[in-house]
Structure 1
Amino acid sequence: DVSVFTQAVKVKAGQNAIFKMQFVGQDPIKVQWYREGEELLNDTNVRVEKCTSQSRLLLSRCQRKDTGEIKIKLKNEHGVTEAISQLTVLDKPSPPLGPAETTESSATCVEFRWRPPKDDGGSPVSHYVMERQQVGRNTWKKMGVIPGVPTYRDTDVDHGRKYCYRIWAVTAEGTSEMMETDEMQAGTLAFPGPPAPPVVVSAFDDCINLAWEAPSNRGGSRILGYILEKRKKGSNLWSTINAADDLIKGLGVISTTSPDNGCSTTTLICHIVLSLTGVSEKKCAVKDVVAGIEYEFRVTAVNLSGPGECSSPSEFVFARDPKKPPGKVIGLKTSETSYTHFVLTWTKPEEKPGIQDEARGYFIDIRQADSIEWSRCNTSPLITTSFSVKGLKPMDMYWVRVTASNDGGDGPAEEMDKYIIAMPRPVRPKFTNHKMKSFMVVKAGNSVRITLHFEASPLPVIMWLKDNVPVTKRVTISNSDSSSQLLIPSSERSDSGIYSILLKNLAGQETFSLEVRVTERFVTSTPARKDRDLQCPPVFVVPLKLHNVPKGYECYMSCAVTGNPKPRITWYRNHISLNTDTNYYISNTCGVCSLLILQVGPKDMGEYTIMAENTLGRAESATVLNVKGENMQPIQFHRQISPNHPDDNSFTSPNRVKMLTSAQLKQEKRLKVKM
């Protein structure tokens, strides 16, 4: 049961810990045990057992360091599963952490604090046990039980005496090793803590003005003054700007005592007089500087006990006259945009001596078009002249400005003259299919599926048309970010036509047209067998169709012809045979005759005729190919064909079918011979 396994296991140090897990699955199953991510293998204190449906982990003589996450991992060819539990080994705590810090020292008490044990042994510290020793004696005095807070205030002290303390942490699992404090003297004054780092107020060639804050810890007495130090950049030597001289006056004996141990004690009162030179306020004008040199400063507070801990160093500052703010940045523009970020680039401002100095950094601000408040993108000055603004809302509009800055302050901001839209750079729609057919023949009842891939930014508006009219609801359109598909599940003859797709976005538009021809289903029937003559002259059961094709696209002409014996097929363009022309791809498969032109050009315009001929007769089918483009006029025909005179060559329709019997064929040949 996983819920049982995941419950934490607690054992005492030296005891054994057992983890069991039952499982089911297809063999072979690989079982692995881990502790804190490290695999456990059979060892002196580790034993892994496995049977068909169960695995057990035995950890013997556990130690505190064995505490951690226990994980079992099961794996077979179908997958991997894991379960995690927690092992806690209980032991006595580690010693309290020192050194002890004196928080108060007076003639009547010593108060100090320490840190809890680094490792509580798995159980919280209930209390501390403490002993005290007066320095110079060999005996330790028990101070009793102290609550779990790591502080103690000892009021049973003698003025001027020094004491040491031993501290033990106690938990439910036992008592830790002891921690011994340093000597603490009752009645001593504490030194002040460090002030805040000095702040440069202003800088000139011959003077640097500083200010700082008083320390939060004054050491139990008032601050008498401060010691200020300076250091040149690159040097390890701190030099004092003002000195503090310690003078001891009024030394005298006020009492002498002789305790039981035979050691006499003399009590002295020392009056410490501090003479501070120069700095008693929390500011200073440092005039001992060299123009052009870079300095840093630190400050130390002084109270009745003397100087305390020094502050952290200030920032480096040049001893030089203030700089002029820089001018506006040049050529602010975007180099990259997306739905969530854009990248700004610019050129640093020009330097004009006495008017505007060199820029040392830049700040970038943005605001949304519907807001009046600017938001700063960087908290510290940017050194480079480019910046990526991230975390934008797609398609939102943003105003941008960049401000150059140096030690003299911020210059005027340069703002872009138009807002930026959080979107990729506009890309004109473009079809990406490797091969795009402009003609499709489908049998009625079959599906029509046209899939076109494209790239565009932003996403384009997609529209499908049939013969320049939006497609009906029986046509299913599926669009994605990079493709569009037209689907007619079951086609009909009425679905024949020119299908066009229009892609349009901010960058432009693109169109593509495809002719779909839906033919009737071929129905095969098997009549009763009769012995009869099946020979017949050629007949076009599906004639050629008129073609209007854009320049540069492919054109596919097809028709169907029957005849027995199998007729010989010849293609003509403007009465010139095309059977040997390599620019045209001609095929004849089971009576379906086709002609393919890969890239239609003006030279391909004209009348196309297919002639089928066998010993019983001849048949023709003709059509016209118009190429759509600039300055191209469609071909007009004026000859008329009469259904009563199939050998008449005059017609006006671009599609015609002409059939001759064998007798008419022979008569036509005789006329040609006479001519």
Structure 2
Amino acid sequence: MLLIPESSRIDAGKYELTLENSAGKKSADIHVRVLDSPGPPLNLKPIKIDKESITLQWEMPLIDGGAKITNYVIEKRESTRKAFATAVTNCPHTSIRIGDLGEGCEYYFRVSAENEYGIGEAVETTDPIRASQAPTPPESIIPTDVTKSSVSLAWTKPKHDGGSRITGYVLEAQKKGTDQWAHVTTVKAMDFTVKNLNENEEYIFRVMAVNHSGRSAPRESKPIAVKDSTSLPEFDLRGVCQKIVIAKAGDDIKVEIPVMGRPRPTISWQKDGAALKLTQRTNVETTAATVVLSINECNRADSGVYTMTGKNIVGSVIDNITVKVHDVPGPPKGPIKIVEISRTYCVFPVSDGGNEYDGGFKITGYTVEKKELPAGRWIRANFTNIIETTFTVSGLTQDASYEFRVIARNSAGAVSVPSDPSDPIICKDDIIEPRIMVDAIFKDVVLLKAGESFKLDADIAGQPTPSMVWTKNGKEIENTMKLDVKFTELTTTLTNKDSVRSDGGEFVLTATNVGGFAKHIFNVKVLDRPGPPVGPLKVSDLLFPN
């Protein structure tokens, strides 16, 4: 009798019972199934890695716990943490993609099988796995020296390492006109001299960056003729769009520019026509293949034209890049001068021609703010972007006191600090004596023929808005079927139809406000046939013929 107390999954399996006596021996197999959760899965490993996900694969456990395995539970933890977190709770297959990982971060994973009796023991990755991908190609590859049997090459780092440290570079060569690439070397440095080349042959070289996830795509050189030669310096600015570098204030600027020329040129720098001053923030560096301009925590003073001069025995070459540091614009120039005040509005220029600084972008508009004194807060006074040079603030309260200020906005959406506030104003009408303005034709007599119409019009100015009245022969003119008088706030017209001689005369327009009055006389003459002689007819000095 075989007794196994407190059996577990490891007790499952095939048991062999053997009976033996003098007559012989007999064996029998007994298969024991222990109903339990499964054992650990086997051969857990990554099969695909990129910068934000890792795909895992494993095999089913040897011990299924006496029941079909229906699910797998996957957990993960960053290598810098101690606790695992559940990543996937429902996985019926033996592979899974774990996404939303941090690029360049390392993770441990463990997988547990599940059957109807529970979740079993987990299998764990022995080493951390980094979420990364193959790097981008090196930015450039250029020859730094050429002889009749060798080519010295240098290249720049990839823009992106794929989330994993670059472990080296693979260099290959191809004779121009052939399709076959030959392995030259694998190096950790970013330069190499290829020797034992055929004189006067042309070669193309390519370099690939390598990290733990694989090789980058290749970066190829231009065809290079193997011979003793010299050439002018040349700056490769293809990587600097339109030769302009744009950065926000506070950012670090680093511009790496490939430099060619044989022999290797010396490089000097200028900014805005003067020698570039090197400081703790501003520095230049020359590598085997490039020149590097670095500006830490840039500010608006770093904006300008940076000029590079390359010199060797062949000659010199000058090129430049423009650095634009984008910042908030300066406040509009002040002080704000109110040019017109009434009891409900005021008018002032929003800018007198510019800002102290536009922030590297064109000024596209202004915002006006108002504050009611003495204890009000600043509130916006305009509802649309102001692009005009003057602005009218309406909706003010009569006899209230206000201050105003202006904020500039540029095309990048950055806004300035507010301008200095205006001097306080009190909303009441300025008193301006009325003025009447008429066309030159109304300063002389207006002549017309009987049956024609005439129209008299004038523009009025004054503050407060003047009242207007038309009179003739000392009496105020009223509208009739043929005569019509119209008024707007600052204009007036008088129209007369089918004129007759009696419609002529002096038409007086008077404009009046508290500041005084103005008057203009329109002289109108209607030309017609003479009227009948004035009667009665008197006869005198009669003569009788003889």
Normalised to the residue count of structure 2, the TM-score between the two structures is: 0.33
Normalised to the residue count of structure 1, the TM-score between the two structures is: 0.27
Higher relative contact order (CA 8 A, sep 6+): 2
